[in-house]
Amino acid sequence: MSHSEKAAIFNKDEAKVNWHDKALWFVREKRDTSAHKVKGWEELRNLASGIKANVLSNLDNYLIEFEANAQKNGIKVHWASNAEEHNKIVHKILAKHKAKKVVKSKSMLTEECHLNPYLENEGIEVIDTDLGERIVQLAKEPPSHIVLPAIHKTKEEVDELFQEHLGTTPSNGNPEYLTNEARKHLRDKFLKADAAITGVNFAVAETGGFVVCTNEGNADMGSHLAKVHIACMGIEKIIPKEEHLGVFLRLLARSSTGQPITTYSSHFNKPAEGREMHIVIVDNGRTEQLSREEFRSSLSCIRCGACMNTCPIYRRSGGHSYDATIPGPIGSILSPGMDMKKHSSLPFASTLCGSCSNVCPVKINIHEQLYAWRQVIVKEQKQPIIKKSILKITGAVLARPTLYSFMGKSVRFMLKYAPKFMIYSKLNAWGKARDLPEVKNGNFDQWYKNREKNG
């Protein structure tokens, strides 16, 4: 199903759409307030954008530098060219340690690689420890937002889910009670875990260390308790120097939720005595995206989710309508690069309003890339014949002023004199909920000609 079809289904429950829209708009406004307090916010965005551009232009060197420094610190570094290799590597490490119970903090990369089903298939229990991720895991759903994975669920729905899976008592969606129950449930999982998997927000080439940002401390809890820590990162997570963290950490949480900084910004540099620390560096289509000049800056993304919160379409269609690991505007420019056929409707799920590009902390020109993807998709993917014919004919008419003048008159004649049932039919999506413009006597051309004639 295309985005528009899924979004139409989501819109059948208007009250829920309103709630979803307001919840995310609230986060967008928190972001505005928080960013307003930073003197030189726009300059900070320029800096971040510049650092990321430098990274993407020198990615090979920075990755090698990072690997060498990480190894010096005693971290084991693995390279995976695709999702399958990534999953195999992670499994091999876990198998070596006979790990059967794994706790995982948030990582969109492992979602992208479908690591959970892979490991579960191998008889390993994987528990997502971010509360939102745990909620969607229990519901057997993918996250609908990269920072707020369960934003599509109301607290009442969470209540029911917890009753079913955690044996809680009905609480009418009492957030305090439910959070406490989740906390107890997760404590137990942390204590019994054989290994911890985390994502990576920033990997510092200069030091070989990496930073993981969470609000719940779940990455720390997992990695400090288990004897093996596996951190999974896409190749684009590199930043050159530790001092650059000062730029990105200031931008990330403010853009994301409006907090000045994430509650935990944890720096991992080397394994503790008697422990193992692994990093899996994954390509999975990223070098191909890097080779596409128009779309390469999409790899600058630091996964703050600000473009989702501000996007008027995302807010009213819900993350699942995008049917992609990363939903929303940034996902709509990343996903076609991974699978153009599957995701061909996504770049059209936008009015090109440009709000996404304006909030982006690394200044990715998201709406311009959406426009550019449309041009590529129309050429490379089969298009609905009616849409294609209409637009091709329109192009031909607009190139011929006389023909255009004739067509313009005909259309106005139709709109004015054709019976209503013909105009407001199933074929006319405009007319389902909107009236068509009232047609006046004559167009501007005629009025101007008459005026010229009459002096």
Partner 1 sequence: MKVGLFIPCYINQLYPQVGIATLELLEKLGVDVIYPSNQTCCGQPLGNSGYEDDAKGACQVFVENFKEYDYIVGPSGSCIYHVKKHFDILEQTPDVIKVRNNAYELCEFITKVLGIKDVGAKFPHKVGLHKSCHGLRGLKLGSCSEKMEPHYSTEEDLLNNVEGVKLMPLNRKDECCGFGGTFSVFEEAISVKMGKDRIQDHLDNGVEVLTGADHSCLMHLEGLLNRNKQPIKVMHIAEILNSSI
The residue within the footprint of partner 1, chosen from 57, 121, 180, 443 (CB under 8 A), is: 443
Q: Binding marks (x or -) toward partner 1, 282..311, rule CB under 8 A? A: ----------------------------x-
Our CB check for partner 1 shows the closer of 117 and 408 to be: 408
Residue 104: its H or E element:
strand 101-104
Of 170 and 408, the one with the shorter C-beta distance to partner 1 is 408
Sheet holding 264-268, edge to edge: 238-239, 202-204, 209-214, 264-268
Smallest separation (angstroms) from partner 1 to the CB of 271: 41
The nearest distance, CB 285 to partner 1, in angstroms, is 22
Nearer to partner 1, 342 or 448 (CB): 448
Residue 351 found at the interface with partner 1 (CB under 8 A): yes
In the chain, what is the straight-line distance between the N-terminal and C-terminal CA atoms, in Å? 58
What's the sign of the alpha-carbon dihedral 213, 148, 5, 365?
negative
**Secondary structure of residue 239 in the 3-state scheme:** strand
Identify which of residues 342 and 416 has a Cβ nearer to partner 1 in the complex. 416
Contact residue for partner 1 among 96, 341, 342, 392 (CB under 8 A): 392
Site membership for partner 1, residue 429 (CB under 8 A): yes
Point out which residues pair with 278 in neighbouring strands: 76, 230
Task: Measure Cα distances from 349 to 296, 346, 357 in Å.
Answer: 20, 5, 15
**Residue 400 touching partner 1 (CB under 8 A):** yes
Binding of residue 54 to partner 1 (CB under 8 A):
no
Choice from 15, 167, 444, 455 touching partner 1 (CB under 8 A): 444
Residue type for position 133: E
Count of positions on this chain that bind partner 1 (CB under 8 A): 70
Q: Which of residues 117-136 bind partner 1 (CB under 8 A)?
A: none
**Residue among 134, 139, 178 nearest 156 (CA):** 178
Determine which residue in the list 1, 19, 32, 60 makes contact with partner 1, applying CB under 8 A.
32
31 close to 321: Cβ distance less than 8 angstroms: no
Beta carbon nearer to partner 1, 64 or 391: 391
* Binding flag, residue 316, partner 1 (CB under 8 A): yes
Q: Does 36 bind partner 1 (CB under 8 A)?
A: yes
- Within 8 A by CB and 6+ apart from 363, the residues are 45, 46, 48, 49, 300, 357
Q: Would you say 68 or 398 has its CB closer to partner 1?
A: 398
Rg (CA), the chain: 26
Binding mask 3-22 for partner 1 (x = CB under 8 A): xx--xx--x--x--x---x-
Residue with smaller CB distance to partner 1, 172 or 429: 429
Q: Where are the alpha helices (DSSP H) in 140-174?
A: 155-166
Could you give the CA distance from residue 401 to residue 196 in angstroms, rounded to a whole number?
Answer: 67
Q: Which of 423, 347, 416, 418 is nearest to 379 (CA)?
A: 347
